[in-house]
Amino acid sequence: MTPVTKAYIPNKHQQNHQAWRNGWLSNEQVAQTAQALSKNGYGKYLADLIK
């Protein structure tokens, strides 16, 4: 077994996406965040994610 020399830490975008896919965040929670961030690309991405 090869030792891990650098831990993989997903960025916030990947964490939110994974949390939603795993059912840890509801569509409503993602929609609220998308609405709060609707003026930037990440908010638009979240809105599209739950469509």
pLDDT higher at 5 or 26? 26
- Rg of the chain in Å (alpha carbons): 14
CB 26 within 8 A of CB 16: no
| pLDDT of amino acid 23 | 92
Is residue 27 predicted with pLDDT exceeding 60? yes
State the residue for tokens 């638009």.
44
In tens, the pLDDT along 38-48 reads 998 888 988 99
Q: Percent of the chain scored above 90 by pLDDT? A: 25
Sequence spans of domains, the chain: 12-49
Q: Count other Cβ atoms within 10 Å, centred on residue 34.
A: 19
Instruction: Describe the chain by its helix, strand, coil percentages, rounded to 5.
Output: 55, 0, 45
Q: How does the average pLDDT of the chain come out, rounded? A: 80
